[in-house]
Amino acid sequence: MARITSSFATLACALFLALGASANPIAGPELEKRVDHEGRGTWFNVGLGNCGKVSKDSEPVVAMSKAFYDENHGSNCGQWVEITDRDTGKTALGQLWDSCPGCGRDDLDLSPSLFQQFAPLSKGVINISWHFKAKDFHP
């Protein structure tokens, strides 16, 4: 009887391993590697952006540095970013619709309504970190 139980256990293990080895991962959407950028956040009055969209100051508009914009050939137009004030920990979402010629590579220029989620406009500059959300992300 012990021999039958041992044989059955061996067969069960072999079957389990064979099924596990043949399993294929399920294909999913391509994931982007998350890269956190650190820079300065400033604000500007929006209008016709470099991406060709006319925006309003009341919208959560983001302008990325001209260098970053050019490096990506404007491919980030319309993409959402998550922005964090490094001093307070406050977080907000903004959508890229413009470029900022005066910004450093990892700086962002924010619409007035977006900047005010972090600080009053009179503050002028905040320390931020930010990262892109997935291309298909919509809040």
Residue range 42-98, pLDDT digits in tens: 999 999 999 999 999 999 999 999 998 999 899 999 999 999 999 999 999 999 999
What domains sit in the chain, N to C, each tagged with a CATH number?
Answer: 37-132 (2.40.40.10)
Q: Look at residue 132 and give its three-state secondary structure.
A: strand
The residue with tokens 């260098």 is: 67
Task: Give 59's contacts (C-beta < 8 A, 6+ positions apart).
Answer: 46, 95, 111, 113, 114
Residue 125 near residue 115 (C-beta atoms within 8 A):
no
Q: How many residues does the chain have?
A: 139
- For residue 11, the number of C-alpha atoms closer than 13 Å in the C-beta half-sphere is 6
Output the pLDDT for position 72: 86
Output the pLDDT for position 3: 52
Most confident listed range (16-25, 28-37, 65-74): 65-74
pLDDT at residue 8 tops 90? no
Beta bridge partners of 110: 43, 62
Q: What is the pTM of this model?
A: 0.75
Pairing of strands 61-65, 91-100: parallel
